[in-house]
């Protein structure tokens, strides 16, 4: 019996505050890259650096415009035997992580996320390609989800 992936599932979303984390990350990357381009243009006298500056500014603006949609595309669902995770706008990625295969469940908090009360939940399995991180979870939800997943992982592992 094969179970098809239900793309229209009841997805749990990340916090709307996560958009601010994405915007701050995009802005800081854009500012640093722009500073390097300005340095190369004005100090190192490289004529092509102004073209790089324009490209960096355009890419940063596009990233800022797309940020809310990128944050809304992230979702997860707890199913009977696994956790299903999705992300992506153009190229969607769906990953099913069986509870019995979870080896490490880690909570991390970046500086901006910490200020907003958000955390990232990371799952590690034996397969390197299935490392999944659910970003932008409220601190309390991340802790509860971690505890629930540890409980499910331990119960499934004893059955292996």
Q: What confidence tens digit (pLDDT) does each residue in 37-73 have?
A: 999 999 999 999 999 999 999 999 999 999 999 999 9
CA distance 146 to 151: 9
Q: Looking at residue 2, what is its pLDDT?
A: 47
Domain definitions of the chain by residue range: 18-70, 74-158
Please state which CATH number belongs to domain 74-158: 2.30.29
Q: What confidence tens digit (pLDDT) does each residue in 64-97 have?
A: 999 999 999 999 999 988 899 999 988 998 888 8
Question: What's the gap between Cα 67 and its chain centre?
Answer: 12
Whether the full predicted model's pTM is greater than 0.85, yes or no, is no
Q: Looking at residue 1, what is its pLDDT?
A: 45
Residues 6+ apart with CB under 8 A from 53: 34, 37, 38, 41
Q: Looking at residue 138, what is its pLDDT?
A: 96
């Amino acid at each position: 019996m094969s179970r098809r992936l239900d793309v229209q599932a009841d997805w749990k979303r990340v916090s709307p505050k996560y958009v601010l984390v994405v915007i701050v990350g995009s802005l800081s990357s854009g500012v640093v890259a722009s500073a390097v381009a300005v340095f190369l243009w004005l100090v190192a006298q490289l004529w092509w650096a102004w073209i790089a500056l324009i490209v960096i500014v355009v890419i940063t603006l596009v990233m800022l415009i797309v940020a809310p949609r990128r944050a809304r595309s992230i979702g997860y669902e707890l199913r009977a035997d696994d956790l299903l995770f999705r992300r992506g706008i153009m190229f969607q990625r769906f990953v099913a992580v069986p509870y019995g295969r979870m080896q490490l469940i880690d909570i991390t908090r970046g500086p901006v996320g910490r200020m907003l009360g958000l955390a990232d939940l990371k799952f590690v399995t034996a397969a390197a390609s299935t490392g999944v991180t659910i970003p932008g979870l409220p601190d309390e939800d991340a802790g509860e989800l971690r505890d629930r997943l540890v409980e499910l992982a331990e119960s499934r592992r004893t059955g292996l």
